[in-house]
């Protein structure tokens, strides 16, 4: 018997719609560009096609990161700070505490139980902490190199259970592993899925475990993160709108 509260949508071809998530917020655009000027120009080009942005380490190191965060918030955008905090628990807790009042919606933590607990204890009321399970750039061979003696799915499930127990709000997970999360973990867990390709194709740019938009949501993802397929399109706005239309169709069909 499935434990109470565990997700019910896995395997039914339905997205997880029981959470109150605006449909257009389910697309998170990965703003993977070299500097903040380029980020602002791209955000202006995308306009209303994107309401949620992920800004990560590349932009952090370019300078002006928090100014960009404030600029996006001033335009009524949501922001995911993908910084993958990994350090001793006290340092991670302090870093999350410094971020909690800056208006971001999500932040990522990449660490063990005590690191995730420190992040969760310091996140405040509005910032949500997402635990990284297994990067979508890793496959079975990479896990062997890292010394993990288990398959990818088992590791993702274990880390997701630990993240929820630590007080995290959700996890980052490839769409390939989401069905197991929905089957065995409380449905309140937020699942954010990167490694999205709008059509079936070969992995690229270091991504090895990828899925389509439709597959991500039919497997039970709450949000998807899309970067290159939008950024590198002839018309980024048209590409984003096409993905938004696909998401809307998935939600409406549920």
Pairing of strands 170-172, 27-30: unpaired
| Residues whose CB falls within 8 Å of the CB of residue 149, separated by 6 or more in sequence, listed in order | none
| Residues whose CB falls within 8 Å of the CB of residue 6, separated by 6 or more in sequence, listed in order | 182, 183, 184, 185, 186, 187
- Is 19 designated active site? no
| Residues whose CB falls within 8 Å of the CB of residue 31, separated by 6 or more in sequence, listed in order | 39, 42, 43, 53, 54, 55, 56, 59, 227
Q: Give dist(CA 56, CA 118) in Å, integer.
A: 21
| Residues whose CB falls within 8 Å of the CB of residue 104, separated by 6 or more in sequence, listed in order | 69, 79, 80, 81, 127
Residue among 78, 84, 123, 215 flagged as catalytic: 84
Q: Phi and psi of 53, rounded to 5°? A: -120, 140
Contact 132, 172 (CB under 8 A): yes
Contact 27, 230 (CB under 8 A): no
- The structure tokens listed for 143 are 């896990």
- Active-site positions? 84
């Amino acid at each position: 018997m499935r434990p109470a509260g565990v997700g019910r949508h896995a395997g039914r071809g339905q997205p997880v719609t029981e959470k109150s998530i605006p449909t257009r917020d389910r697309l998170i655009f990965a703003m993977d560009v070299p500097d903040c000027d380029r980020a602002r120009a791209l955000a202006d080009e995308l306009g209303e096609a994107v309401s949620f942005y992920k800004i990560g380490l590349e932009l952090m190191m370019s300078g002006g990161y928090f100014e960009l965060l404030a600029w996006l918030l001033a335009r009524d955008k949501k922001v995911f700070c993908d910084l993958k905090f990994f350090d001793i628990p006290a340092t991670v807790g302090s870093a999350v505490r410094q971020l909690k009042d800056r208006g971001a919606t999500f932040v990522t933590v990449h660490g063990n139980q005590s690191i995730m607990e420190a992040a969760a204890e310091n996140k405040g009321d509005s910032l949500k902490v997402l635990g990284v399970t297994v990067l979508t750039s890793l496959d079975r061979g990479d896990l062997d190199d890292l010394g993990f003696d288990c398959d990818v799915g088992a590791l993702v499930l274990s880390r997701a259970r630990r993240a929820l127990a630590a007080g995290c709000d959700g996890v980052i997970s490839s769409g390939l592993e989401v069905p197991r999360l929905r089957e065995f973990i409380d449905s309140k867990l937020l699942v954010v899925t990167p490694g999205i390709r709008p059509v079936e194709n070969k992995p690229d740019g270091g991504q090895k475990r990828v899925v389509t938009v439709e597959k991500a949501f039919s497997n039970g993802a709450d949000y998807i993160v899309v970067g290159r397929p939008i950024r590198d399109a002839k018309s980024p706005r048209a590409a984003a709108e096409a993905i938004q239309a696909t998401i809307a169709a998935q939600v409406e069909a549920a």
